[in-house]
């Protein structure tokens, strides 16, 4: 939590994805998010709040979370409590998976009339070391027929800029936490797990080959972190940079 509040990386990732998903959900009465990056569920209270304030009232909101074996069992309960407080019809189902490669489309019980969004934040790169694994996951996503797929990943060859910036922002926090928060945050961003990183252009090729086309553009909403961080729109995607070096890209996709 300390690093989440101190450093913009995860805030940027979740903010950008939420904005794209909210746009896709405009006017829909039954919505379903499948989150490949569930963890502690920190992305979704803001989504619930935004849906609650939507003109015409909120939709019913269904959330399916994919998490590692150690993820918090109380995540769904906490989100349900939040939804009840703001009068949103809410349903949660969680799956434990060691790898996204273990998923199958039949697991998700897609219902007639609901609008589906799939959310992946710092997850797909973990599959790059396994030949065909990314393509298999994208095939599953395609079978789900989502209205939108949001993807956030680090830029290849720029992992150094991510962790240089973490060190710049996080020394005081790390000292206060005995260094444990640093390891935890690196794990969340993917550096502690096997895998590689690719450029935005390479992800665009992979997703295009899998039957997805990029949305025209993502909303460049106000995201002012100051200091050495900056957000810009590049080829319809949002990129968070540090000292002009690309660090994280967020993109949104639809079925071709």
Q: Any idea where the domains of the chain sit in the sequence?
A: 2-255
Q: Give how far Cα 214 sits from Cα of 206, 208, 250, Å.
A: 11, 8, 11
**How many Å apart are CA 218 and CA 242, to the nearest integer?**
20
Nearest Cα neighbor of 123 from 107, 100, 146 is: 100
Q: How much of the chain is helix, strand and coil, in % rounded to 5?
A: 40, 25, 35
| Mean pLDDT value across the chain | 82
Buried-exposed string 120-134: b where 16+ CB fall within 10 A, e elsewhere: bbbbbbbbbeeeebb
Nearest Cα neighbor of 156 from 117, 103, 98, 206 is: 206
Q: What single string gives the DSSP state of each residue in 95-133?
A: EE-S-GGG--GGGG---TT-EEEEEEES-GGGGTTSTTH
Q: Give how far Cα 220 sits from Cα of 60, 68, 140, 223, Å.
A: 27, 32, 29, 8
Percent of the chain whose predicted confidence (pLDDT) is above 90: 50
Q: What pLDDT score does 2 carry? A: 62
Across 3-7, 95-99, 163-167, 230-234, the highest mean pLDDT is recorded for 95-99
159-176 helix and 9-24 helix, angle to the nearest 10 degrees: 120
180-189 helix and 159-176 helix, angle to the nearest 10 degrees: 150
pTM: 0.84
Nearest Cα neighbor of 63 from 101, 24, 86, 89 is: 89
pLDDT at 11 over 90: no
Across 3-12, 127-136, 224-233, the highest mean pLDDT is recorded for 127-136
pLDDT digits (tens, 9 = 90+) for 57-102: 999 999 999 987 655 568 889 999 999 999 999 999 999 888 999 8
CB neighbours of 139 closer than 8 A, spacing ≥ 6? Answer: 210
Q: What pLDDT score does 186 carry? A: 54
Average pLDDT over residues 233-245: 81
Give the model's confidence band at 182: pLDDT under 50 very low, under 70 low, under 90 confident, else very high. Answer: low
Give the model's confidence band at 170: pLDDT under 50 very low, under 70 low, under 90 confident, else very high. Answer: low
Q: What pLDDT score does 155 carry? A: 80
Q: What pLDDT score does 194 carry? A: 47
DSSP 196: -
Write down the CATH superfamily of domain 2-255: Vaccinia Virus protein VP39 (3.40.50.150)
Other beta carbons within 10 angstroms of residue 215's beta carbon come to 18
pLDDT at 5 over 90: no
Q: Three-state DSSP class for 84?
A: helix
Across 34-43, 50-59, 217-226, the highest mean pLDDT is recorded for 50-59
pLDDT digits (tens, 9 = 90+) for 185-238: 554 555 444 446 788 889 999 999 999 999 866 765 555 555 677 788 888 888
Other beta carbons within 10 angstroms of residue 21's beta carbon come to 25
148 close to 115: Cβ distance less than 8 angstroms: no
């Amino acid at each position: 939590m300390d690093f989440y509040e101190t450093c913009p990386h995860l805030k940027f990732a979740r903010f950008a994805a939420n904005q794209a998903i909210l746009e896709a959900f405009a006017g829909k009465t039954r919505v379903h998010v499948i989150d490949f990056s569930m963890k502690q569920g920190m992305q979704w209270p803001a989504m619930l709040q935004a849906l609650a304030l939507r003109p015409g009232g909120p939709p019913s909101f269904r959330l399916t979370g994919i998490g590692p074996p150690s993820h918090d069992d109380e995540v769904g309960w906490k989100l349900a409590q939040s939804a009840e407080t703001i009068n949103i019809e809410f349903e949660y189902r969680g799956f434990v998976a060691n790898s996204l490669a273990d998923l199958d489309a039949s697991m998700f019980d897609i219902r007639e009339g609901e609008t589906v969004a799939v959310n992946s934040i710092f997850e797909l790169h973990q599959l790059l070391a396994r030949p065909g694994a990314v393509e298999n996951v994208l095939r599953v996503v395609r079978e789900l027929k989502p209205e939108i797929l949001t993807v956030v990943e680090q830029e290849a060859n720029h992992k150094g800029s991510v962790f240089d910036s973490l060190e710049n922002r996080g020394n005081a926090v790390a000292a206060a936490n005995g260094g444990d928060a640093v390891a935890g945050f690196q794990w969340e961003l993917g550096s502690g797990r096997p895998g590689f990183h690719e450029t935005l252009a390479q992800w665009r090729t992979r997703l295009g080959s899998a039957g997805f086309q990029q949305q025209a553009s993502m909303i460049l909403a106000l995201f002012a972190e100051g200091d050495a961080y900056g957000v810009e729109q590049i080829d319809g995607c949002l990129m968070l940079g540090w000292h002009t070096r690309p660090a994280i890209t967020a993109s949104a996709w639809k079925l071709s």
